[in-house]
Amino acid sequence: MGDDVELEVSQDPHLGRVKIDRSQIERVFINLVVNAHDAMPVGGKVHIETFSRELTVSDVQGMGLKHSGPYVGISVRDTGCGMSEEIHSKIFEPFFTTKESGQGTGLGLSTVYGIVSHSGGMISVSSVKSQGTTFTILLPQCEECVKEEEIKCYSATEDGSGSETILLVEDNDTVRRSIRKNLESKGYTVLEAANGEMALTIFHSCKGGIHLLLTDVVMPNMSGFDLVRKIQSLNPDSKFLCMSGYPNLENNQRAEFFHRGQGNSEPYPSIMKPFSFEDLTKKIREVLRHS
Q: For residue 70, what is the domain's CATH number?
A: 3.30.565.10
The answer as to whether 146 is a domain residue is: no
Q: Residue 34 sits in which domain range?
A: 5-140
Sequence-ordered alpha helix ranges (H) in 75-147 = 85-90, 108-118
Q: Contact 83/42 with Cβ under 8 angstroms?
A: no
pLDDT, residue 244, reads 82
15 and 45: one domain?
yes
Contacts of 192 (CB under 8 A, 6+ apart): 167, 168, 169, 170, 176, 180
Q: From 111, 140, 169, give the residue that closes a domain.
A: 140
pLDDT, residue 287, reads 92
The answer as to whether 148 is a domain residue is: no
135 and 216: one domain?
no
Which residues in 270-289 are b (16+ Cβ under 10 Å) and which e?
A: bbbbbbbbebbbbbbbebee
30 and 82: one domain?
yes
CA 104 – CA 106 distance, rounded (Å): 6
The answer as to whether 150 is a domain residue is: no
14 and 88: one domain?
yes
96 and 207: one domain?
no
pLDDT, residue 35, reads 87
pLDDT, residue 86, reads 80
Contacts of 243 (CB under 8 A, 6+ apart): 170, 214, 215, 216, 217, 224, 270, 271, 272, 273, 275
Among 291, 272, 269, which Cα is nearest to 107's? 272
Strands (E), 18-131: 44-55, 69-78, 122-128
Q: Which DSSP symbol is given to 146? A: P
CA 206 – CA 201 distance, rounded (Å): 9
- Total domain count for the chain? 2
161 and 136: one domain?
no
- What residue ranges of the chain have pLDDT lower than 50? 101-103, 105-106, 152-157, 248-265
Look up the CATH number of the domain holding residue 174: 3.40.50.2300
97 and 224: one domain?
no
The answer as to whether 149 is a domain residue is: no
pLDDT, residue 149, reads 53
pLDDT, residue 248, reads 46
Which residues in 112-128 are b (16+ Cβ under 10 Å) and which e?
A: bbebbeebbbbbebebe
136 and 164: one domain?
no
Q: From 109, 140, 171, give the residue that closes a domain.
A: 140
166 and 264: one domain?
yes
Q: From 140, 166, 188, give the residue that closes a domain.
A: 140
102 and 184: one domain?
no
240 and 199: one domain?
yes
47 and 162: one domain?
no
pLDDT, residue 30, reads 87
pLDDT, residue 62, reads 82
The answer as to whether 276 is a domain residue is: yes
The answer as to whether 151 is a domain residue is: no
CA 2 – CA 226 distance, rounded (Å): 29
Element (H, E) at 204: helix 196-206
The answer as to whether 162 is a domain residue is: yes
